Amino acid sequence: MRQVDHFIVGGGGGSAARTHQIWNPSTGEVQAEVPLGDAALLQKAVDAAKKVQPAWAATNPQKRARVMFEFKRLVEANKQELAELLASEHGKVVDDAHGDVQRGLEVIEFACGIPQALKGEYTQGAGPGIDVYSMRQPLGIGAGITPFNFPAMIPMWMFGMAIAVGNAFILKPSERDPSVPVRLAELFVEAGAPEGLLQVVHGDKEMVDAILDHEDIAAVSFVGSSDIAHYVYKRGVAAGKRVQAMGGAKNHGIVMPDADLDQVVNDLAGAAFGSAGERCMALPVVVPVGHDTADKLREKLIPAINGLRVGVSNDPDAHYGPVVTPEHKARVEGWIDTAEKEGAEVVIDGRGFSLQGHEDGFFVGPTLLDRVTTDMESYQEEIFGPVLQIVRAKDFEEAVRLPSEHQYGNGVAIFTRNGHAAREFAHRVNVGMVGINVPIPVPVSYHSFGGWKRSGFGDTDQYGMEGLKFWTKAKKVTQRWPDGGGDGSNAFVIPTMG
């Protein structure tokens, strides 16, 4: 059986006492296994990082940028391999996997401009003969703990910025689909980075705790479920670390009566069901404003959802593939059961879906639930599967209130032709990322990504200038050069050669 080993200087240290199975979600078969490391293995990675990081930090930003440029070129050259490998372990279709890689590369592109981004501030004459300037310096060793749903994009979000500014980086990817992160680390060394600068360790909670407790790891970035994000944030901060921890979501799509419903249905088909709904920026709740809008939208949604093709990850005609594990399939179907028991109307039922020839795969059919209300647990919690819930709002005020009062505050979208309504909504809604006629409002790489409330713990967002600030510390210098020499005179003397 294929083994996905740690990527650390000196290797993983032999066979592991504990391993984790890696499934092929399309077939339901175990295709590989990954060793689960411990604190001793992490120490090996930290020791290697400590040796290489000072010299990397002393390397001028232009040379660091050249490594990032070459890494970008290598990822692009190997993009098909990465996408197919990603799809085989995660289950998302290959086209979607290409998008996973590409969105990570966009942050690498931003990191290629690190010489410009790192320029500090300067004030001449802040006082009599006094100048003040600032610089941003690396923290030392950073770490990232990343989820299964974007095994290429989110690691590159983290290590791209962290390394470009001068840190060493230790990545702990999800044990469910770890092969792509390891391959990215291999390509990073091939791009000219010194060994030990980017390392990959595998593990479960034991490894996470070791990272959070290690005194030589200065900062930790995390993406995952909200309960774990909160745990990571509290434990990491208690250990004196800088921590950003991104959690779950329950993104709403507000549909105003004047919206183009055909466009809304097209957007929802991708936003709610793409990647089998396994993404924190999915749009699993649609909020039509007014009963007429709700009835018209539902009428258009039914044939569109029934027309979605569910297939294996390498099916070029499939709209989405299986979910990642059998446990996750059971969890998603359990939420549909819960919603039905709570009184939601199951308009389209994806439970028990079976794909001919791949009956053991972890497939969940597209599901549409109507008459969902805010007191239902299935509305309050993140389902993270191909399930779209309709929550009817009587007016604009209620539509603003629903996402604003929800425990999650990652993303929200409004569909309308009315500029005033869109502007008012964007200003008032209590959510971190807003789309106006954009169903998945993930900001481009030179802005930043981050939600509010239980969707994000910490004060700094991912990537962009926010990422640069997270992975660096600011040093402020106030200087004065008084006239005169050591004799106490005030004469200004120009030094001469000789």
Active site residues: 280
Q: Which helix (H) or strand (E) holds 20?
A: strand 19-24
Q: What is the bridge-based pairing of β-strands 198-200 and 19-24?
A: unpaired
Instruction: For residue 457, give the 3-state DSSP assignment.
Output: strand
Residue 89 buriedness (CB in 10 A; 0-12 / 13-18 / 19+): buried
CA distances from 54 to 49, 167, 200 (A): 9, 8, 20
Q: Measure the CA–CA gap between 287 and 403, rounded to whole angstroms.
A: 10
Q: What is the dihedral of CA 398, 402, 403, 404, to 10 degrees?
A: 80
The first and second tokens of residue 299, run together, are 């009428």
Taking CB atoms within 8 Å and a gap of at least 24, the contacts of 123-132 are 126/478, 127/480, 129/480, 129/481, 129/482, 130/478, 130/479, 130/480, 131/478, 131/479, 131/480, 132/476, 132/477, 132/478, 132/479
Q: What does the block give as tokens for 295?
A: 């009835």
322-349-281-34 Cα dihedral, nearest 10 degrees = -30
Angle at 103 between CA 367 and CA 322, to 5 degrees: 30
Answer for the pair 208, 16: CB distance below 8 angstroms, yes or no: no
Strand partners of residue 435:
413
Three-point CA angle 37, 38, 40, nearest 5°: 115
**Which amino acid is located at 483 in the chain?**
D
Pick the closest to residue 172 from 140, 144, 214 (CA basis): 144
- For residues 142 and 46, what is the distance between their CA atoms, to the nearest angstrom? 10
**CA gap 12, 1 in Å, rounded:** 17
Strand partners, 242: 219
